[in-house]
Amino acid sequence: MHQKTLFIIKTTHRWIGLIGGWFLFMIMISGCLTLFNSEISQWMRPELALVKPAPLSSTALDQAYKVWLYSQNMPKNQIILPSERDPYLYVSYLKDNLKKNIILDPNQGTIIPVRDTAGASFIFSIHKKLFMNPSIGQFILLIVSFLFIISILTGIILHFKTYVKMLFNLQAKANPLRIQLNFHTTIGMLFLPFLSVMALSGFLFVAPSYLTASSSPAKITFKHHANIPYTPAHQDLLNLVVKAEHYFNNPAGFIFFTHKEIKIGEANSSYLSSFKNTVSYNNVTGAMTSHTSPSPMFGYPQKVIFGFHIAKAGGVIFRTINFILGLGSAICVALALLYYSNRYKNKIYPNKLAYIGHKTIEGINTGVIMAPLIGFISFLWINRFIPVDSHNRTANEIMLFFIIGSIIFIYGLYSAYFNFTNHALKKLLIIFSYLCLLLPVIDLMTNFTLFTQSLLNSNYLYLKMDITIFVLGVCSLLFSMFLKKKNYLI
Amino acid sequence: MSIIIITLNIFSIFIFASSLEKFQNKQTDQQLDQKAVKRFRIISLFLMIISFILCYVYWQKPGWIIGINLTSINSLIITVFISYFPQRFKEWNEKFHAIFIKSA
């Protein structure tokens, strides 16, 4: 390739990757966690362990409907039906940028008294809009996803030839800097199908709200029903749910109400493409009025990649595989950021400004890698430590998350200015490992009764979550020991 | 079934890696000729297709996507294994070549 073209591609990959990488790491980690949002939310409300999952009853749905009446003026209000993965009945709505839930026993219809927590909807909010105002957060995400796509394309052009040469070979005896780059290239190339689909689907998730005018005709919006004059439903909701399930030939997932209709959505976990399929019934007569399978821009292919992005089908195995790939992709981004930091570490800078500039970038790189990791694990710790009946519990959880994240970020910057970034990284990685290892112990200590009750109710979610966090801690500790032994962080 | 699929997938990648010229054992007389390399690649492809078919049968609609993703993860595992434990890979590779050459 022409040297000048190659230079432009290299520079584009480096700078776009650097700036995009600052956001991408956080987005990837929060995305990985969002794959298990239901499990995390249940874990963060251990009181649910006291309720034995039971089949949905008409009484419970009527109760949910009465509860829903109180939230009808809130945006995104809906009733979420129990599923195999999440066996409780929810009335959910959006408040303060977060999805709030009132949880009901699916059989008795009684409200289950659970602690007030941000749950996984906070993590999802970070993934979806960086916990900002949607118009700003999603605009940043749009730019980041665009930069991500460009980084992938330039990365393929730059590294493809060298990758084919070093296929199945990471050159383990090379210098640490080379190994960092080799890992980055290898993960990038091997995970290319996953990365491409994620980048493209991420872009397409956000783009329609900016690229098209508000004239998308068939699109069913979930923003809706705030301030819609409400007409009471005269129908037996369970009967309608059964009818909808018969129509879908699949379980129903959620119900929401408009002033004339009751809309029931499909919860199909067999097809990636079954995206927001709904069927509507007249509020008074109960007759089916419409059914829809919205195709916002490109129809079927778009629905498939959206389904892929959120791991809609394939059950726990698909989510686990996507989680591993997401984690690998985050490591790929982190290695690129570290490579950038380390490559120019011993460079002689022409002036002080350039030196400070590089040190700031180095500090930001360290901060953006470790702040989300320690922030998210601390978020789970905070959930167990804030008293259950404390006032403003959710707000405090979020505030503490941001305080811890900011401290880590500032520590990252501080370590860069005082030339100990790699030492700081190792230290923070060990702290992260111990936080993971000790969390299950703390969970057992603070909620032992609830934990044993969950096992008696054959609800193994809490056990599985604790084991997963512990295993993550062990892996992280082994990884940090490996880095220390091999002196990979130069 | 998951274990069978993962094993077949890893095995197919392993055979593909062992068919690459740079990993053939050049110190012994076991270096593969072009015919053997071709046979190795066919076996590797065959195993990969079987694992994909099993993915499709077992996990239905997203099965083929799970197959692709699984191949990505397993390739990374094999790459790390070959890079950090080259001696072990060489041993296994030699044994595998020997079995194959004998049976051929």
Q: Determine, for residues B72 and A322 on separate chains, whether the beta-carbon distance falls below 8 Å.
A: no
Higher pLDDT residue, B95 or A479? Answer: A479
Answer whether residue B104 shows pLDDT above 70: no
Minimum distance, in Å, between the CA of residue A469 and any CA atom of chain B: 21
Cα A443 from chain centroid (whole Å): 23
For residue B28, what are the contacts with CB-CB under 8 A and spacing of at least 6?
B94
Considering only the beta carbons, identify the residue of B62, B68, B73 that sits closest to A272: B62
Q: Determine, for residues B65 and A314 on separate chains, whether the beta-carbon distance falls below 8 Å.
A: yes
Q: Determine, for residues A190 and B75 on separate chains, whether the beta-carbon distance falls below 8 Å.
A: yes
Minimum distance, in Å, between the CA of residue A272 and any CA atom of chain B: 7
- Ranges of chain A with pLDDT below 50: 214-229
pLDDT bucket at B60, cuts 50 / 70 / 90: confident
Q: Which helix (H) or strand (E) holds A362?
A: helix A352-385
Question: What is residue A224's predicted lDDT score, i.e. its pLDDT?
Answer: 47
Considering only the beta carbons, identify the residue of A192, A271, A325 that sits closest to B61: A271
Q: Determine, for residues B78 and A168 on separate chains, whether the beta-carbon distance falls below 8 Å.
A: yes
Q: Determine, for residues B59 and A318 on separate chains, whether the beta-carbon distance falls below 8 Å.
A: yes
Q: Which residues of A touch B2 (CB under 8 A)?
A: 317
Distances in Å between the alpha carbon of B31 and those of A282, B20, B78? 74, 11, 21
Query: Hey, what amino acid is at A138?
Result: Q
Pairwise CA distance, residues A155 & A191, whole Å:
12
| Neighbour tally for A87: CB within 10 Å | 19
Question: What is residue A27's predicted lDDT score, i.e. its pLDDT?
Answer: 96
Considering only the beta carbons, identify the residue of A169, A187, A271 that sits closest to B82: A169
Question: What is residue A177's predicted lDDT score, i.e. its pLDDT?
Answer: 87
pLDDT 10s digits, A291-333: 775 555 556 777 788 888 988 888 889 999 999 999 999 999 9
Average pLDDT of every residue of chain B: 83
Q: Determine, for residues A193 and B68 on separate chains, whether the beta-carbon distance falls below 8 Å.
A: yes
CA-closest candidate to residue A198, choices A349, A111, A5, A328? A328
Q: Which of B76, B82, B89, B90 has the highest number of chain A CBs within 10 A, making it the mutation to test binding with A? A: B76
Answer whether residue B29 shows pLDDT above 50: yes
Minimum distance, in Å, between the CA of residue A130 and any CA atom of chain B: 27
Considering only the beta carbons, identify the residue of A168, A270, A325 that sits closest to B20: A168
Minimum distance, in Å, between the CA of residue B20 and any CA atom of chain A: 9
H helix runs in A72-191, sequence order: 119-129, 134-165, 176-190
Minimum distance, in Å, between the CA of residue A153 and any CA atom of chain B: 18
Question: What is residue A13's predicted lDDT score, i.e. its pLDDT?
Answer: 95
pLDDT 10s digits, A427-482: 999 999 999 999 999 999 988 888 898 888 888 999 999 999 999 999 999 988 88
Determine the 3-state secondary structure of A345 from DSSP: coil
Pairwise CA distance, residues A323 & A33, whole Å:
8
The pTM of the full predicted model, rounded to 2 decimals, is 0.89
Answer whether residue B69 shows pLDDT above 70: yes
pLDDT bucket at B19, cuts 50 / 70 / 90: confident
Distances in Å between the alpha carbon of A19 and those of A120, A143, A235, A301, A340? 27, 11, 54, 30, 11
Question: What is residue A366's predicted lDDT score, i.e. its pLDDT?
Answer: 94
Cβ A93 vs Cβ A137: under 8 Å? no
Determine the 3-state secondary structure of A213 from DSSP: coil
